[in-house]
Homo-oligomer: A and B are copies of this chain.
Amino acid sequence: MPFPSKSGLKITQIDVKDVRFPTSLGGHGSDALHTDPNYSCAYVTTTTEGGRQGFGLTFTCGRGTEIIVLTIRSMKKFVVGRNAADIFADFAGFWRQITNDSQMRWLGPEKGVVHLAVAAILNSLWDLWARLENKPLWRLLVDLTPEELVSTIDFRYITDVITKDEAVQLLKSKLPRKEERVKELAAKGYPAYTTQVGWMGYSDELVKELCAKYLGLGFKHFKVKVGLNLKDDLRRCTAVRKYIGEDKTLMVDANQAWSVGEAVEWMKKLAHLKPLWIEEPTSPDDVLGHAAISKALKPYGIGVATGEMCANRVMFKQFLQSGGMQYCQIDSARIGSVNEILSVYLMAEKLKVKVCPHAGGVGLCEMVQHLQLWDYASVSATMEGRLIEYVDQQHEHFYDPCVVENARYMAPKLPGYSTQMFPETLQRFSYPKGTEWQRMFKDGTFPEPDEAELVNV
């Protein structure tokens, strides 16, 4: 597949919006460390001379989204005026330029606010590319030749695990029967698990009701938040295990609540409930700590899952090398967009670690399904032990929402990365000028924005 021709693809505008949903009002998304998130995003629209558009976002939890929005505005200078076709033809080079500007890289490097901003911008470019090809993103990825695909990846700092040549060979080795797998995906989709039954802020009654609901919808895997109070965790996990039965799978998620020793002791006390994994037991930066926890919990049959806050491919590399993660939870909006995520999938395949993507929030389910479908068609070629997280929130704001049927993500069909939001959503939930926010400031549901939150208005 040739890269797009340059005609009409000079990028003339990057627009960015601070979009926030008042999810803290319902306790949705609450966990051990995030007690009152307002699920939000920085939402980017990239427009070319010829009027073509791409949409991208990075997920946030409310306060501070104004900082990401400003960072995207500060990074416009690296994108506006470039031709999108030139970017796609040397995507790795462009990636390195925007992530490693000589002056700005001090603010990361390749982590936190600056990397979240890069993710939003590049997600809009990948959406644009897929729209230009008139394909959903997963098909664009599947249809790239191995050489074209790896041309989008910066291999600096990961060659001790996989080189560009090895990546090409790996992809080539999976070409036979690729089209069969594509057909299977188009027909049957990809298995999902639900996190909807066990948010920290949910009442017992709601948990029971939700277990029944999601069992009815065909789910076999259920995740529960833990880590604030052992007695409470035992009560809720015991209840969920009772409601779902012994033949279903329970996972638990501590959202970084513990130190290393504490994680091991706490999980021993939940081990009789047979959780498949403990997710984010400790600091997302602690590779060696996760390796120690993995080793200590192996005799109990409990694996360690992490990745949603893993800063970049170098951190993923180490988690994969060290035995610190048995389930690799890539996130579609934290690390440097598809370019960097592809490299994590390739390292995971090389080191034989299962990828079970993180999703939920705003748009994460919509995006990450594309990546996991590509993985099945082109990389791992198996679904064994692999699942995509599913959270049933915020989908109504997207033109092309993910569709989960009988606990499986159905393969997206529309062109793009499923990232475009409805204009009405932007008009209602843009922060702080959206109509919903203005209403909630007026009636005292939320305090007025502070002066820092007004700089992007």
From the candidates B34, B159, B318, name the one contacting A288 in the complex (CB within 8 A).
B318
Q: Tell whether, in the assembled complex, residue B67 and residue A157 are in contact, meaning their CB atoms are under 8 Å apart.
A: no
From the candidates B38, B105, B160, B450, name the one contacting A77 in the complex (CB within 8 A).
B450
- Chain B residues contacting A27 (CB-CB under 8 Å) are none
Taking CB as reference atom, which chain B residue is nearest A456?
B455
Over the window 438-456 of chain A, the binary record of Cβ atoms lying under 8 Å from chain B Cβ atoms (1 yes, 0 no) is 0000000000001111011
Taking CB as reference atom, which chain B residue is nearest A20?
B103
- Chain B residues contacting A157 (CB-CB under 8 Å) are 259-260, 282-283, 286, 289
- Chain B residues contacting A101 (CB-CB under 8 Å) are 63-64
What residues make up the interface of A, taking CB atoms closer than 8 Å to B?
A: 33-38, 59-64, 66-68, 70-71, 73-74, 76-77, 100-116, 155-160, 256, 259-262, 282-289, 292, 309, 311-312, 314-315, 317-318, 321-322, 450-453, 455-456
The 5 closest A-B pairs by CB, nearest first: A112-B112, A113-B113, A63-B103, A62-B103, A73-B452
What is the minimal beta-carbon distance from A63 to any residue of chain B, in angstroms? Answer: 4
A322 to B112, CA, bound (A): 24
Given contacts A100-B33, A113-B113, A285-B315, contact A160 B261 (CB under 8 A): yes
Given contacts A113-B112, A157-B289, contact A107 B452 (CB under 8 A): no
Taking CB as reference atom, which chain B residue is nearest A321?
B288
From the candidates B77, B106, B311, name the one contacting A285 in the complex (CB within 8 A).
B311
- Chain B residues contacting A106 (CB-CB under 8 Å) are 34, 37, 59-61, 64, 309
Q: Tell whether, in the assembled complex, residue A107 and residue B34 are in contact, meaning their CB atoms are under 8 Å apart.
A: no
Q: Tell whether, in the assembled complex, residue B37 and residue A103 are in contact, meaning their CB atoms are under 8 Å apart.
A: yes
Taking CB as reference atom, which chain B residue is nearest A104?
B64
- Chain B residues contacting A156 (CB-CB under 8 Å) are 259
Given contacts A112-B107, A160-B260, contact A67 B64 (CB under 8 A): no
What is the minimal beta-carbon distance from A79 to any residue of chain B, in angstroms? Answer: 12
What is the minimal beta-carbon distance from A321 to any residue of chain B, in angstroms? Answer: 6
Known: A64-B74, A159-B261, A160-B260. 5 other contacts (CB 8 A): A60-B107, A62-B103, A67-B70, A68-B107, A288-B317
Q: Tell whether, in the assembled complex, residue B67 and residue A36 are in contact, meaning their CB atoms are under 8 Å apart.
A: no
- Chain B residues contacting A108 (CB-CB under 8 Å) are 112-113
What is the minimal beta-carbon distance from A156 to any residue of chain B, in angstroms? Answer: 6
A114 to B159, CA, bound (A): 30
What is the minimal beta-carbon distance from A424 to any residue of chain B, in angstroms? Answer: 25
What is the minimal beta-carbon distance from A180 to any residue of chain B, in angstroms? Answer: 36
From the candidates B62, B259, B287, B456, name the one contacting A160 in the complex (CB within 8 A).
B259
- Chain B residues contacting A452 (CB-CB under 8 Å) are 70, 73-74, 76
Given contacts A33-B100, A260-B160, A289-B157, contact A64 B112 (CB under 8 A): no
- Chain B residues contacting A260 (CB-CB under 8 Å) are 157, 159-160
A114 to B66, CA, bound (A): 12
From the candidates B76, B114, B283, B318, name the one contacting A286 in the complex (CB within 8 A).
B318
What is the minimal beta-carbon distance from A329 to any residue of chain B, in angstroms? Answer: 15
Q: Tell whether, in the assembled complex, residue A111 and residue B112 are in contact, meaning their CB atoms are under 8 Å apart.
A: yes
Q: List 29 A-B contacts (CB under 8 A).
A: A33-B100, A33-B102, A33-B105, A34-B105, A35-B102, A36-B102, A37-B103, A37-B106, A63-B101, A63-B104, A64-B104, A64-B107, A67-B70, A70-B70, A73-B451, A73-B452, A77-B450, A107-B113, A108-B113, A112-B114, A112-B115, A157-B283, A157-B286, A159-B260, A160-B260, A283-B314, A286-B317, A287-B318, A288-B321
What is the minimal beta-carbon distance from A12 to any residue of chain B, in angstroms? Answer: 15
